[in-house]
Structure 1
Amino acid sequence: MKDTVKAVNHQQVRQLLHNKFVMVLGDSIQRSVYKDLVLLLQKEKYLSLRQLRSKGEMSFELDCLVEGGCLDTMTNGTEYREIRQFQSDHHLVRFYFVTRVFSQYMQSIMKDIRHGLKPDVIIVNSCVWDISRYNTVWTEDYKKNLHKFFSNLKEVLPEETLIIWNLTMPLGKCIRGGFLVPEVEYRGLQLRFDVIEANFYSGTLADAYDMDVLDLHFQFRFLLQHRTKDGVHWNAVAHRRITSILMQHIAQAWGVTLHEPQIPDAVVDSTFFGEDFSSDSLPRSYLSFTENPEPQPDRHENAENFRPAVHSQPFLPPLGRHYKQKPMKGFDYRPLHYLEHHDNYHHHHHQHPPPHDHFVMRNRPSRHHYAPYTHHRPAHHPHHGFY
């Protein structure tokens, strides 16, 4: 199957997210999703290895650390907190580090959302910590917490907010990571299989709550060369691909056309520095995800100086498969308090599935493109003390 994921550039992202508030919630993978978005909003560069590995720093690419991180105790425990925010004249991006999909801390985040500026887009995932650090028999707790999280999120957000649930990316056979403390190291070999099961639960339930599901496990199943040596995290090329998929989907949901960047015929070769990136610059050939070129002879060119032209071809949505499988035994994929006005829709939807049910992401009607900063701003600061 031909890969339809096209790289997005700096100008496309700035225009798409103009006057928009994007919120990212999740673990270290989601933090890198946030970082790549913040970087691309400002310049045509890829994340460096150091930027990918850093956590809790005071500032990253003109963002600020609002709470936790190096302002508090740096730890690999479940109590670790980190809130980051990037703000420009026309963009606002915020990140919350979470280790459990629903907890007292998550309730405080919900309070921020309820009393503060409403996000236009929420990109969220919580899985690996949930299924490894709290209970060896994780399925029931995880399913209950997913129900609580999704139902609470729908209550505090306006209907216009686009909620994107990212499924967890493939884990390696032998994994190392901050979440895998010595007490649970024995679970490392099993976790890659548990993630597949957890993805089914969370993806099916998110779809039932009428949220958008992005299957990153499916998208990256054949791109394992971009996974780092710890078996958990991913390199700069992988994160730019994630950003590109997200921007495609957001554009599709808002009914906006992103014009495809035109790559010049004469492409200058550059050096690729192996599995991990030790430089801010990448070869131009990596602007396309349709192939993985071999390392080229030494020749460097800063990606910041590259501004590809655009033309009028539409930006194609990624293909894949969609979660419409029979639920596993003992798992009710419908929300506990499912809204009555959705019942007829879902009955018809499951009886007569759409012809493109194999897509990775739900094909939803285009949402009205609206001005985000018209939401009411409270007179007081929200719970965590920032707008």
Structure 2
Amino acid sequence: MVRLLASEVQQLLHNKYVVVLGDSVHRAVYKDLVLLLQKDCLLSYKQLRMKGELTFEKDQLMKGGELDTLHNRTDYREVREFCSDHHLVRFYFLTRVYSEYMESVLEELQSGTHAPDVIIMNSCLWDVSRYGRNSLSSYRQNLESLFGRMDQVLPKSCLLVWNTAMPLGDKIKAAFLPQKCKGQARISVATLKKRVRQANLYSHAEATKRCFDVLDLNFHFRQAKKHLQGDGVHWNEHAHRKLTYMLLAHMADAWGVELPHRDPWEIDPVDWESAGPGPVEEWQPQANRGPQAFAPPPPGPFPRPRPLFPPPGMPVRPPPLLACPLPPPQVTPPLPPYPQDSYFSSDHIFQTDEFYIHSEDPSPPHPGYAFEGDFSFHPQPPMPNYRPPCYQRPAPGAHRGFQRRLAQGPYMPWRGRPRRPQRHGPGYVDSRPQ
């Protein structure tokens, strides 16, 4: 994971139109991206819990939310937009992966003045819990319809990143799950987890079939449940910043942009050790491990890499390494005195090809010359092993890979964009007459 600053994110998303589609979890994805585009700080607990507010960090509520009515029904709508001089980010709240409303969203994106450069999307929890017993089978059919329409509507240059549903907690108290759903009892946690796993498999298969990108958030956050909120569905600000870094790294890789290379032990303003209540489920304090606890690993020449989410109680990370100290120079022994003509002779021995090996058996060495296996005429003196010094080089800017001559206006028109070669169909080679 590469930690990016707000200035670097502004360069990476310069003149980009990003669309986020999904439920309340992806609304927090939208908020964290909007916040990181402006300042280097994390979301607050209040900002994560708020929904449908009129404004958030200079964005604007376009439809739904407080402009209409706040509720938890399947017809809830919320459209937000953040627009600056060179950035445009929009969010659409979804309660179903494909529906009449989703079709209207696609028509709105297609008829707009500017084409979306990136679409970040997920819809799962509402689909598998609020639409009856056959919700999983209908979800699979809706996935096929969605990706088929996406392939028709979106331009080839648009990067669609489908996110799998994130892990759930052992106790779910989310407000979007009512006590009764269409005459049925409330779905159990075990059943909901099973449906989410199956839904992730279906969405991954359908997305890869259409050559869309998939970011498996369920895999990356499977051991980070200490960052879950108390309702067992939503995540805290540290997890969402981690998620934003992963999305930005995925975009940079798709666009061929080189991100800054920083020291993994560099002090990070995001304090992962103290983030989130409760320990990791698979980690136990050292006092509770018993006599057969694992011994600490032997010290190595290189520091151990930092884990994804370090458990609480670990020692504080060392300060950043500014430069590697050079080893003390070794004294080189003086070369033995040899006459000059012993190495640079011009007699007939050097004019012939007697030193070339014509068979598997090596030829006997000539008198007066030490013929070694490395084809040197005398053993080389020991050379001092000087390691190259480490310098703290400035990180490269995130603008690498972008065109220096930008188009007129902050965004490119809908039909004037290049086609992405990764999603072209297989080419057919015409037969030529011989």
TM-score with structure 1 setting the length? 0.71
Which residue of structure 1 lines up, in the alignment, with residue 16 of structure 2?
20
Shift of 1:275: 2.9
Which residue of structure 1 lines up, in the alignment, with residue 186 of structure 2?
186
Does the C-alpha gap of structure 1 residues 295 and 375 become closer, same or farther in structure 2, counting only changes over 3 Å?
Answer: farther
Which residue of structure 2 lines up, in the alignment, with residue 54 of structure 1?
50
Is 2:211 the counterpart of 1:210?
yes
Letter of the 2:412 partner, please give it: T
CA contact (8 A) 2:227 2:276 kept: no
Does the C-alpha gap of structure 1 residues 141 and 269 become closer, same or farther in structure 2, counting only changes over 3 Å?
Answer: closer
Letter of the 1:136 partner, please give it: R
For residues 210-247 of structure 1, give each alpha carbon's deviation from its aligned partner in whole angstroms, at most 9, with x where no partner exists.
10000000000011111111110000111011101100
Query: C-alpha separation between the residues in 2 aligned to 1:137 and 1:267?
Result: 46
Does the C-alpha gap of structure 1 residues 132 and 264 become closer, same or farther in structure 2, counting only changes over 3 Å?
Answer: closer
Query: C-alpha separation between the residues in 2 aligned to 1:310 and 1:235?
Result: 34
Which residue of structure 2 lines up, in the alignment, with residue 167 of structure 1?
164
Is 2:169 the counterpart of 1:177?
no
- Identify the match of residue 32 of structure 2 among 7, 19, 36: 36
Letter of the 1:36 partner, please give it: D
Does the C-alpha gap of structure 1 residues 175 and 264 become closer, same or farther in structure 2, counting only changes over 3 Å?
Answer: closer
Question: Secondary structure of 1:373's match?
Answer: coil
Which residue of structure 2 lines up, in the alignment, with residue 275 of structure 1?
277
Query: C-alpha separation between the residues in 2 aligned to 1:310 and 1:55?
Result: 43
Shift of 1:173: 2.2
| Identical-residue share of aligned pairs (%) | 46
Is 2:134 the counterpart of 1:137?
yes
Letter of the 1:164 partner, please give it: V
Shift of 1:74: 0.5
- Identify the match of residue 96 of structure 1 among 92, 96, 113: 92
Query: C-alpha separation between the residues in 2 aligned to 1:269 and 1:166?
Result: 23
CA contact (8 A) 2:173 2:232 kept: yes
For residues 12-32 of structure 1, give each alpha carbon's deviation from its aligned partner in whole angstroms, at most 9, with x where no partner exists.
211100010000000000000
Is 2:144 the counterpart of 1:147?
yes
Query: C-alpha separation between the residues in 2 aligned to 1:273 and 1:163?
Result: 31
Question: Secondary structure of 2:180's match?
Answer: helix
Is 2:41 the counterpart of 1:45?
yes
CA contact (8 A) 1:226 1:235 kept: yes
For residues 295-351 of structure 1, give each alpha carbon's deviation from its aligned partner in whole angstroms, at most 9, with x where no partner exists.
89xxxxxxxxxxxx9744899xxxxxxxxxxxxxxxxxxxxxxxxxxxxxxxxxxxx
Query: C-alpha separation between the residues in 1 aligned to 2:115 and 2:311?
Result: 42
For structure 1, the 5+ residue unaligned runs are 277-287, 297-308, 316-366, 378-387
- Identify the match of residue 85 of structure 1 among 71, 75, 81: 81
Letter of the 1:194 partner, please give it: R
Is 2:312 the counterpart of 1:294?
yes
Query: C-alpha separation between the residues in 1 aligned to 2:312 and 2:12?
Result: 32
For structure 2, the 5+ residue unaligned runs are 279-305, 315-391, 416-434
Letter of the 1:34 partner, please give it: Y
Query: C-alpha separation between the residues in 1 aligned to 2:238 and 2:264?
Result: 17
Letter of the 2:66 partner, please give it: C
Shift of 1:289: 6.4
CA contact (8 A) 1:259 1:310 kept: no
- Identify the match of residue 75 of structure 1 among 57, 63, 71: 71
CA contact (8 A) 1:164 1:211 kept: yes
Per chain length, whose mean CA-contact separation is higher, i.e. which structure has more relative contact order (CA < 8 Å, sep 6+)?
1
Which residue of structure 1 lines up, in the alignment, with residue 116 of structure 2?
119
CA contact (8 A) 2:124 2:196 kept: yes
